[in-house]
Amino acid sequence: MVDSLARAAGPEAVTAVVNVGDDLELLGLRISPDIDTVLYSLARLLDEERGWGVRDETYSARAITERLGGETWFTLGDRDIGLHLVRTEALHRGEPLSAVTRRLARALGVGLELLPATDDEQRTFLRTDAGELDFQTWFVRRHHADRVLAVDVRGEARPAPGVLEAIRGAEHVVIAPSNPFVSIGPILAVEGVRDALAERRVAAVSPIVGGEAIRGPLGEMLEALGFERSAKGVADHYGRLIDVFVVDETDADLAPAIPGAVVAPTVMVDPGRREEVGRAVLEVLG
């Protein structure tokens, strides 16, 4: 979605506020999967087929760490590790995540402003029928097979510099079609973010199309958490936080039942369609 809006409006017109609740430490490396996916996508380095990691990646380090008994359940490619090394070293030197991220984005030729929601340690945990799990353990290590009973975002997280200013100053505020519980929820849990959003006309793009998430286990999670497994379930979850809800053309028949619903093409797994989707979304936002 960030890429779509950047292609439609020009990257310099976009500020992306990104979730860090699913960040992790592995092999001493600080990994920020959501930031990295946006970075790689905008730098045209993303493995688009998988939706994560670097394309044409090598896995030499992983082969050795595995042989040496290091943890390998979270796949780290060599290029990916190169980025994590630079970030981790900078964080250990005391550079805030937002400053490191800005540096990495510039070095990779990313033209838009990319902000972690917070520079503080914020972590998403899931209460499941297999006990409490941190996000990546639930999602990657256990293949999101455990039924989610509740989402618990932890850490006193203050907004990173520029986050509230971006919300207050933007022409359009758009919540991306990500998982509202585990990807958007942690951003909303950052101090001041809900209040800043309450002052603005906020649009969300539905992450559910035809009853299924484009990627990930959102369908099951909606049901498990007591919402309808549909675009309407997501709109119900957001409630009065949002003013406009963009549903995909596939779900046009659901629109009359959703307050503030507008219809636009939103599916853009194919990068070739992203500019078109970005333009359509900006158009329905008026």
- Pick 102 or 237: Cβ nearer its own copies: 102
Alpha carbon distance 110, 18 (integer Å): 15
- Pick 69 or 286: Cβ nearer its own copies: 69
Shortest gap between Cβ of 54 and its own copies (angstroms)? 8
Shortest gap between Cβ of 201 and its own copies (angstroms)? 37
* List 28, 51, 192, 210, residue binding its own copies (CB under 8 A): 28
Question: How many residues bind its own copies, per CB under 8 A?
Answer: 32
Residues 45-104 that bind its own copies (CB under 8 A): 54, 57-58, 60-65, 67-70, 77-83, 85-86, 88-89, 92, 103-104
**Tokens 């959703």 — which residue?**
258
Shortest gap between Cβ of 86 and its own copies (angstroms)? 4
- Pick 83 or 164: Cβ nearer its own copies: 83
* List 24, 29, 225, 241, residue binding its own copies (CB under 8 A): 29
- Pick 68 or 253: Cβ nearer its own copies: 68
Shortest gap between Cβ of 271 and its own copies (angstroms)? 21
- Pick 85 or 257: Cβ nearer its own copies: 85
Q: Which residues bind its own copies (CB under 8 A)?
A: 27-29, 54, 57-58, 60-65, 67-70, 77-83, 85-86, 88-89, 92, 103-104, 107-108
